[in-house]
Structure 1
Amino acid sequence: MALSASRANDFRQCPLLYRFRAIDRLPEPTTEAQFKGTIVHAVFEKLFDLPPSERVPDAAIALLPETFEALHTEQEPAVVPVGEKRRFLNDCAALVFNYYRVEDPRKFDPTGREQYIHAVLPDATPVRGFMDRLDIAPTGEVRIVDYKTGKKPLPRYSGSVIFQMRLYSLMYWRVHSTVPDQMKLIYLKTGETMVSRPSTADLLNTEREVVRLWNDIRQCGATGDFVPRTSKLCSWCAFQQYCPEFGGKLPDYPGWPGESHN
């Protein structure tokens, strides 16, 4: 077990949600919005396989149908109804076109795509994640990039994505002894960006928060007492049938993964 940004945000939102996803691993239906993100991320990954001069919008759009067929057939057979395929691909194409409003992929080669990174923090807290893109300039500057298919949030709602990017930066710093020069979020719905420069103080604060979260998670994991926390986000939750706050019945706690429960 290791802590990722997604699971950390789950625990902060609702400890029981963390349990359902990270420990019980209950099945969860894929939404159309999630599948759209999967398709567009895969297209951007393939785009950088092309020679720089060929990374034009039409080439990126041309990757959509084959990517859809591969992923829809193999992984998500019921997400997009047959009659909705054209509309779905047009929606994806709009997101891809918006990418070109903020970057020109002909002008650089990323160092990593869908880059897995993991670290063990000084107190032994394990953390991991996947960076959508890692750019290292010839002059050594490091940039971590994440694509978001939604629109740019208002500042008061941006805490979870800032935490995500700082956790990636923290892991990079702990692994490579270099603080990234830039964190960049690209919002494809509107063709906007959110760019910031992490400081050592920022990353140390994030590290303290991650350690605290992991300690809280492990304490809950020892007893199985993951308390639900209700909010407006409950209306989007796929696990209401298991949640006592909605009259559901909790599954038996399977115990912390990898530990004996005789």
Structure 2
Amino acid sequence: MVSTLTRQGLHLDAADLGKVRRSALSASTARALTHNCAAGYAFGKLTGETAPDPFAATTQGTAVHAVLEELYNLPAGKRTRRRAANILLSMVAQWRHDKYPQLNDPVTRQLFIADVIGKYQGIFEIEDPRDTDVVATEWPLAGIELGGVPFIGYVDVTQRVTARGRTGLRPVDHKTSNRIPDKRKLELYGDDHGDQIRLYAAGLRKIQDEPVIEGRINYTRHGKSRIVAVSVKRVAQTVGEFARAWDIHNGMVEQAMFPTKTGPLCGWCPLVQLCPAAQATKFNTDRTDSQTALCATDLIAIDPAAPSREAGVSPTSTVSPGEPGKSTNQAWEGLIMAEHVLAEDKPWEEIVGGKLNGASYAATGYFGISSLAYELLGRHDVPIQRIAVDAMTNVLAAIVTDVQDGLSGSTSFQEGTNTRLRGVLRTVLESVPPPFGEDASTWETWIKMTTGHTRSIAAAAVRLAGTDDITPDLDTLASIAPLRKKD
């Protein structure tokens, strides 16, 4: 048998399966198997080390980590910008003779040095390394189990810090990502960076007695960082997901098939031109600048069998307004979807396999608030257009999450507080209708007023929850009178 890539996945023969099968999971492998394309992950294990490219993201990320590891290993007073640059220059002098011979070219070498410096120098905006109490660098977490799963990982830097009146350890991971994930994306797609830190926290708690009080992610390219909560509850949730990834891995191994999963990242996969799944979607464009995309491979066979495309039209092409043969209702809605965008699971699971769980509490909220927006447009004789539905949906969601953030410190639609506030907002809208047809200033005033009314009702509910003796206040009721309109 020869390993074969089909539209469904990469079917592995016994020899290749042995190369892909893991004896322990890292945080990144767990994420790749549960949220990314498992077939692409498996193929990467088969290819092994590729030709070294000093400008590849992985190469430069490795260089940044090497510089920072060496820097934080120095005595505190020597952890300066100048010393970091000298560390990099010394490493480059070695790498040009073994790892990356391309660096023998002086222009390539200078460009590489500039790129790497640009990716690590933000660490000096995040903190002064000279003031950091470093316990260890590259702390190896191996030979342990998390949730019954063999775990392996290396903590970039482990610091000793004092926070909120407690002293303990802080595992830190350095990221050279192009973008910092915002709050909305973290809530919708999951926090893989935070989950990595929480797994490190679980591992450290297994092997030493000093408390782990928080985690931190440093986005060194941007000079920004964020603290990661490592409470027992949050860590337990992450470990549970990690254990699920192990079950998924073992199921793939048992079936000797690692499934394909299409999406925007397909364009950067070396198999994009060969993969039947990618070629059957709109994500079939090579975006690698031909650096890594393959036109053929002798590692696996390709089974191109897939549904044919009629009249040269991609099965995932979307309909534009006025397109011949399509109804205007289909066109303006734009709801002909390239892929199934929802999954189905238990309601307490918001994201399943990287997709929104249609049965989740959060999905109920998203659908409910967009339905309310649609309802308001129709009630006030506003033309039902996609741009109007989206704008109204966003403003309603912003009101709810603004009040929610003040109450619980979260803006997640998965939480019960969000559900309560959506109900409150419906009540407020009966008394404070949206000012359709007015200018931006009027809308701004309306948003503030509607948010204020929503917050006031929520505050009354919170006060009620804190009242021990619930009795009617007849004197106050007797003093309340309706507003009378002037003749």
TM category, shorter: 0.7 to 0.9
After the TM superposition, list the runs of 4 or more consecutive aligned residues in structure 1 that deviate by more than 6 angstroms: 247-250
- In the TM superposition, residue 178 of structure 1 has moved relative to its aligned partner by 6.0
Instruction: Map 1:213-224 onto structure 2 (within 5 A).
Output: 213-224=245-256
Could you tell me which residue of structure 2 aligns to residue 154 of structure 1? 182
The alignment partner of 2:66 has SS state of: helix
Give 1:209's aligned amino acid. E
Is the radius of gyration larger for structure 1 or structure 2?
2
Identify the structure with bigger relative contact order (alpha carbons < 8 Å, sequence gap 6+). Answer: 1
Measured on the aligned residues, the alpha-carbon RMSD in Å equals 2.7
Instruction: Map 1:38-57 onto structure 2 (within 5 A).
Output: 38-57=62-81
Distance 1:81 1:224 in 2: 45
- In the TM superposition, residue 28 of structure 1 has moved relative to its aligned partner by 4.1
Q: Which runs of 5+ in 1 are unaligned?
A: 253-262
Instruction: Map 1:191-210 onto structure 2 (within 5 A).
Output: 191-210=223-242
Give 2:300's aligned amino acid. P
1:127 equivalent in alignment to 2:151: yes
| Counterpart contact for 2:147–2:239, Cα < 8 Å | no
| Counterpart contact for 2:120–2:221, Cα < 8 Å | no
Could you tell me which residue of structure 2 aligns to residue 259 of structure 1? none
| Counterpart contact for 1:144–1:169, Cα < 8 Å | yes
Instruction: Note closer, same or farther for the CA distance 1:193–1:46 as it changes in structure 2 (3 Å cut).
Output: same
Could you tell me which residue of structure 2 aligns to residue 64 of structure 1? 88
| Counterpart contact for 1:61–1:93, Cα < 8 Å | yes
The alignment partner of 1:190 has SS state of: coil
| Counterpart contact for 1:80–1:88, Cα < 8 Å | no
Instruction: Note closer, same or farther for the CA distance 1:56–1:110 as it changes in structure 2 (3 Å cut).
Output: same
Equivalent position to 2:169, from 120, 142, 145: 142
Distance 1:237 1:222 in 2: 25
Distance 2:111 2:102 in 1: 15
The alignment partner of 1:101 has SS state of: helix
Instruction: Note closer, same or farther for the CA distance 1:27–1:93 as it changes in structure 2 (3 Å cut).
Output: closer
The alignment partner of 2:101 has SS state of: coil
| Counterpart contact for 1:169–1:179, Cα < 8 Å | no
Q: TM-score, normalised by structure 2?
A: 0.47
Instruction: Note closer, same or farther for the CA distance 1:178–1:213 as it changes in structure 2 (3 Å cut).
Output: farther
| Counterpart contact for 2:266–2:278, Cα < 8 Å | no
How many residues matched?
250
Could you tell me which residue of structure 2 aligns to residue 234 of structure 1? 266
Q: TM-score, normalised by structure 1?
A: 0.83
Distance 2:180 2:146 in 1: 31
Distance 1:51 1:212 in 2: 41
Distance 2:47 2:60 in 1: 22
Give 1:18's aligned amino acid. Y
Give 1:154's aligned amino acid. D
Equivalent position to 2:300, from 230, 251, 254: 251
Give 1:15's aligned amino acid. A
- In the TM superposition, residue 234 of structure 1 has moved relative to its aligned partner by 0.9
1:75 equivalent in alignment to 2:99: yes
Please give the per-residue CA displacement for 1:143-189, whole angstroms capped at 9, x wherever unaligned: 01011112422224442212222222222223336662111111112
- In the TM superposition, residue 231 of structure 1 has moved relative to its aligned partner by 0.7
Could you tell me which residue of structure 2 aligns to residue 182 of structure 1? 214
